Amino acid sequence: MLSRVADSLFWISRYIERAENIARSIDVNLCLLLDLPGEDRHWDPVIQTAGCSRDFYHKYQKATSENVMDFLTLDTENPASIINCVSIARENARCIRETITLEMWLLINKFYHRLHEKNIKAEMLNNPHDFFTEIKEFCQLYVGIQDGTMSHNEGWNFAWLGKMLERADQTSRILDVKYYILLPDVSMIGMSLDTVQWTALLKSVSAFEMFRKTYSTVTPQNVSEFLLLNKECPRSIMYCLEHAERALNKITETKFSNNGEKTKRVLGKLKSQPLTRSSQKVYTKQSTTFNFGFRTSMPQSETISSIALGRYNFGKIYFLQADFEKIKKTPSTGSLFFTEQIFS
């Protein structure tokens, strides 16, 4: 397979997945604001998760619902906006039109023209829930069409690899920003507001119903363990790593592929080392510090330490230990981009 074709398939899947993730984050946050009216500060995590906080505040002074929705959805100057994600995915699809199926191309093209309709902004602001639901359904339909109409060959595996890496990156970003600015005060840890926000986090990755079938209570430890280590949740980082590794193995099994061994080693070591829960200090309302972590025997020198998912470091010791006062004062480092680390 030509490298440009593989590259295009990889990035089409990443951009479609990214568009769906942004739409879901906005939609969940709009629902959260119904429970917490007047809480404009809840838009900050959405901007942080999208990785465009600097660009947003360079353009706007305040994060309001209208500003954030417009910036993350229809702003062509924002490289992370949904309209740009779809436009770039369409351009990649156009370049490899002979490789993808007709159904895939027609859907991406329809999606692109839908977002460029004349009155699209007014439609978004007047009925945001239906609008973002439509975007999510477009993205999910594309995944289904790709899976059902495209041969599961080397190209399909490149596309699946891109999807899994983008999904892992998104999950890590959401976990990373949860306690950056959400809670107004340390004393509210473990209270109803905290539970509402952890529930919104699960809904942001479409994992709330899956979570409730596994755990009876919504706690930071349970949510983190579920989104990091659960092998059955398609949004967990461990699930994404396993499926990314499978895709890599399929790609490198072909007689035309001689590369990728370094990448396979990095992903393989990360996935194969058992991540087990270490002893943890469960935080309470009276505690200003909490820690919950996971330990792996992987040497830190094995470059896995360079793969940092937010504050969760897959290294010799894999842990989160956070002092809330420090987090409130320290800007979030943001998640390191997954593919940049794996493929560097």
Element (H, E) at 296: none
Are residues 166 and 234 in contact, defined by beta-carbon separation less than 8 angstroms?
A: no
What is the per-residue pLDDT for 257? Answer: 52
User: According to the model, what pLDDT value does residue 15 have?
Assistant: 97
- Dihedral (Cα; 274, 280, 284, 286), 10-degree rounding: -140
Residues facing 320 on adjacent strands:
292
Beta-carbon contacts of 17 under 8 Å, excluding residues fewer than 6 positions away, are 139, 162, 163, 166, 167, 170
H/E stretch holding 311 reads none
CB 226 within 8 A of CB 139: no
Task: Give me the pLDDT at residue 1, please.
Answer: 78
* Per-position pLDDT tens, the chain of length 344: 788 999 999 999 999 999 999 999 999 999 888 877 665 667 888 898 898 989 999 999 888 899 999 999 999 999 999 999 999 999 999 999 999 999 999 999 999 999 999 999 999 999 999 999 999 999 999 999 999 999 999 999 999 999 999 999 999 888 877 655 555 555 555 567 778 888 888 999 999 999 999 998 888 889 988 998 899 999 999 999 889 989 988 888 765 555 566 766 766 666 665 444 432 333 333 222 223 333 223 332 222 222 333 333 322 222 223 332 332 233 333 332 333 333 33
Cα distances (angstroms) measured from residue 6 to each of 47, 55, 112, 207, 250 = 30, 30, 22, 30, 14
CA torsion angle 101 104 108 110 (round to 10):
100
- C-alpha closest to that of 157 among 10, 342, 340, 2: 10
**CA angle (306 as vertex; 302, 308 as ends), nearest 5:** 130
> According to the model, what pLDDT value does residue 55 have?
93
What are the residue boundaries of the structural domains of the chain, listed by start? 1-150, 153-344
What DSSP string describes 168-219?
Answer: HHHHHHHHHHHHHHS-S-GGGTTSHHHHHHHHHHHHHTT-HHHHHTT-SS--
